[in-house]
Amino acid sequence: MNAEPLKKFKVLGDSRGQLIALEENKEIPFNFKRIFYIYGTQNGVPRGQHSHYKTKQLLVCVHGRCKVSLDNGKEKKIYSLYKPELGLFQDKLIWGEMFDFSSDCVLMVLADDIYNESDYIRDYKQFLEVINVH
Ligand code: T46
């Protein structure tokens, strides 16, 4: 991986409790167009297992915990998301897999584009072919 994809956000708030603010082009390292969250993942089931041609994502586990592997075709690293002040940047053309979800995990994903299935690469062999030509 080039730049460190795991970001630690500043925790605001006071004696009443905590608050984290994410702004585009600051904590979110792109212009932001979409948010979605996944939850209720069944025990032992992975999610993701794909890459995007263009879409960039920032993954934040706002409740519970999970692990994420990021793979650039040459190197694969595993990250633990276990508190809301951690954000993991998944660049375009990086294969991502989310796994080891706690039953209470809510994984929020911020993306720089609207949903478009044609931006997905869901076959790992095809992913390796695509990154070889970029
Ligand atoms: C990712 C992980 C964490 C939409 O209609 N709009 C959307 O914005 C998204 C993300 C999905 N969908 C539809 C497409 C499928 O019919 O929701 C269904 C489930 O999507 P998918 O199989 O891609 O779900 P996951 O959990 O494997 O992956 C999703 C994201 O696709 C992915 O980018 O990082 O969550």
Q: What is the pLDDT of residues 58-90, one digit of tens each?
A: 999 999 999 999 999 999 999 999 999 999 999
Distance CA 36, CA 3 (A): 25
Distance CA 12, CA 96 (A): 29
Residue nearest to atom 28 of ligand 1 (CA): 48
Identify the pLDDT of residue 25. 96
Q: Residue 124 is inside which H or E element, if any?
A: helix 124-132
User: How much of the chain exceeds pLDDT 70, in percent?
Assistant: 97
pLDDT greater than 80 at residue 2: no
pLDDT greater than 70 at residue 124: yes
Q: Can 50 be counted among the known catalytic residues?
A: yes
Segment 40-52 shows an average pLDDT of: 97
Residue among 28, 39, 9, 47 at smallest CA distance from 113: 28
pLDDT greater than 90 at residue 134: no
Distance CA 106, CA 62 (A): 6
Identify the pLDDT of residue 1. 62
Distance CA 110, CA 49 (A): 17
Q: 91 C-alpha vs ligand 1 centroid, how far in Å? A: 16
57-63 and 6-8 beta bridge pairing:
unpaired
pLDDT band at 3 (very low <50, low <70, confident <90, very high): confident
Residue among 54, 70, 57 at smallest CA distance from 110: 57
Q: Ligand 1, closest atom to CA 41?
A: 26
Residue nearest to atom 11 of ligand 1 (CA): 115
- Residues 29-42 pLDDT 10s: 999 999 999 999 99
Catalytic-role residue among 50, 52, 63, 134: 50
Q: 28 C-alpha vs ligand 1 centroid, how far in Å? A: 20
Which residues have CB under 6 Å of ligand 1?
Answer: 34, 36, 38, 47-48, 57, 96, 98, 107, 109, 115
* Upper half-sphere CA count for residue 1 (Cβ side, 13 Å): 19
Which pair of tokens denotes residue 83? Answer: 């508190």
Specify the 3-state DSSP secondary structure of 111.
Answer: strand
